[in-house]
Amino acid sequence: MDKNINTKSNVVRVLVVDIETMVIDALRVSTVGFGNFEWNQCTSLNDSLALIKSESFDAILVDPQFISQARLPAIEKILEVAGKARVALFSDEVDIPLLAGCVERGISGFIDKKMPAGGVISALTIILLGQRFIPSEIIRALIENESEVVLSTFQKGILKRAAEGLKNKEIGSDLGITEGQVKSHINSIRKKLTANNRAHAVVIGRRMGLI
């Protein structure tokens, strides 16, 4: 993508993977005058994968909230078929462990749905120019989570899901790792928190503000 992304002769094709239609409708109206953007939408993962394979897009914005489970593997599938398209999370909620995993896999950024249209276009422009866009406050959250000695961001994500009552198999499916790997992480978490068992680790994690 060259730097002339907003010229009339250069249509920027954006695919939004999300079940909410109001957001993209608002973007279509609000971004008139900001550039020659073509907004497309898919409301299911399978349909979006098929569309990405059959058509060319410059950017793909994904709201992970619409994915009921296995969010990280689902985003990995989108990244696999995206080709040259830039892929970014597009949501009004931030799941730090999920975002950290996405960053490790090469996601192009995070755009807050609550941003005004001009802000969305500015963030999208940065991403289209080959840079990563993540709001500064979210970067700080990522750094703070990683800098805490006790648990890594990924381990906090596992502990959070354990606190929600998910079984090892469900946690593994959600984060794209095996059931055995989840068990290994749980054991590591338990040792780091000096917890007697899984439930005790959850109690300690909540008390420490880790989840």
- Flag whether pLDDT at 36 surpasses 50: yes
H-helix or E-strand spanning residue 88? strand 86-91
pTM: 0.68
Q: How confident is the model at residue 13 (pLDDT cuts 50, 70, 90)?
A: very high
More confident residue, 31 or 95: 95
Under 8 Å CB-to-CB from 128, ≥6 apart: which residues? 1, 5, 12, 58, 59, 86
Residue 208's alpha-carbon distances to 148, 151, 191, 202, 203, in angstroms, are 11, 11, 15, 10, 9
Model pLDDT for residues 93-103, shown as the tens digit of each residue: 888 878 888 88
* DSSP annotation of 48: H
Residue 169's CB is within 10 A of a number of other CB atoms, namely 11
Q: Kind of pairing, strands 86-91 and 37-42?
A: unpaired
pLDDT of 4 reads: 46
- pLDDT band at residue 27 under the 50/70/90 scheme: confident
Residue 73 has a CB neighbour count (10 Å cut-off) of 16
Determine how β-strand 12-17 pairs with β-strand 110-112. Answer: unpaired
14 phi, psi to nearest 5 deg: -120, 130
